[in-house]
Amino acid sequence: MARAASSAAPPPPSRPDSPVEEADETPYFDSVDELQQHGINVQDILKLKAAAINTVSGVSMTTRKQMLKIKGMSEAKVEKIKEAAHKMIGSSFATGLELQEKRKRVLIISTGSKFVDAMLGVYGEYRTGKTQLAHTMSVVAQLPPDLGGAAGKVAYIDTEGTFRPDRIKSIADRFGVNGDMALENILYARAFNSEHQMELINECSQRFAEDKDFRLLIVDSIMALFRVDFSGRGELSERQQKMLSKLSKLSEEFNVSPDPGATMTFVAGGALKPIGGHILSHASATRIFLRKGRAEERVAKLVDSPDKPESEASYKLDEGGWADV
């Protein structure tokens, strides 16, 4: 969506035509409003939206037990809604060829470092650039696909108060993008507790359904508020699972890349593990560990990936965000 700024011309509008939209205007999902054509009344659809179920796929992903907890939903209503959703979606099975075609819609967004792009959940020690990566990708996601972007908007949930508009402008300058336009295309919210964080993630579901231009969701950092609000492992793990499950569903529903910025903790023996433990690890298909190198150099190590071998890449942090050494 973002384009290079021109000194001669006035700043471009905040919602220019996107290369992705021009290539394929077919939406990635069906709104729950479409259920009305299959006999579901408006009041029940509004109840689904109030429970952050905004798409037909979202209905399919929600269990009957969870839907029955929605005020005013009876077993008969839930069953009718489920049947309508199934008719619209069809079979959940697909051939390998159909899946290959579907995966062509998967968005690839650059980190700002080509060496790190060759690898790809990120976690690491202090001052290795996790928040800088979030800022860099907030700009890169707006670039056209041929420049490593996804030609779309970004939703940014900040749990630690580390988002800096001036930083976005510096990174935008590196890519020749109008800074104000880059900021206009970032939907920002500050989360103050874990409950508020979940409410914001649910609100993202509603906003993504209304505006199909969103391509990236950043939560930086995903575990900070949960560590403050919950001390017992039982309570913490249950809430972690619910939040990560919601992020995973958002990704599937809206073809949005979730970037749950993770932090690290020290454990016995000096080893480094991401906050969130096994729950966060299982929620991330690809994990990269960040550490400090010599001087200004940083090192990204691919720890786990379903399709890439273990490897390392160097990068640096400068005014333009993440960059190759």
Rounded Cα distance between 272 and 291, Å, is 10
- The single-letter code of the amino acid at 65 is K
Mean pLDDT of the chain: 74
Mean pLDDT of 94-102: 71
Per-residue model confidence (pLDDT) at position 75 = 94
Per-residue model confidence (pLDDT) at position 32 = 92
Long-range contact set of residues 300-305: C-beta below 8 Å, sequence gap at least 24: 300/113, 300/115, 300/116, 300/119, 300/122, 302/119, 302/120, 305/119, 305/120
| Residue 16 clears pLDDT 50, i.e. is over it | no
Per-residue model confidence (pLDDT) at position 266 = 27
pLDDT bucket at 132, cuts 50 / 70 / 90: confident
Mean pLDDT of 72-93: 89
Per-residue model confidence (pLDDT) at position 267 = 30
Per-residue model confidence (pLDDT) at position 284 = 56
Contacts of 282 (CB under 8 A, 6+ apart): none
Query: For residue range 224-280, what is the model confidence (pLDDT) as tens digits?
Result: 777 666 655 555 566 667 777 777 777 777 777 655 443 333 233 334 455 445 445
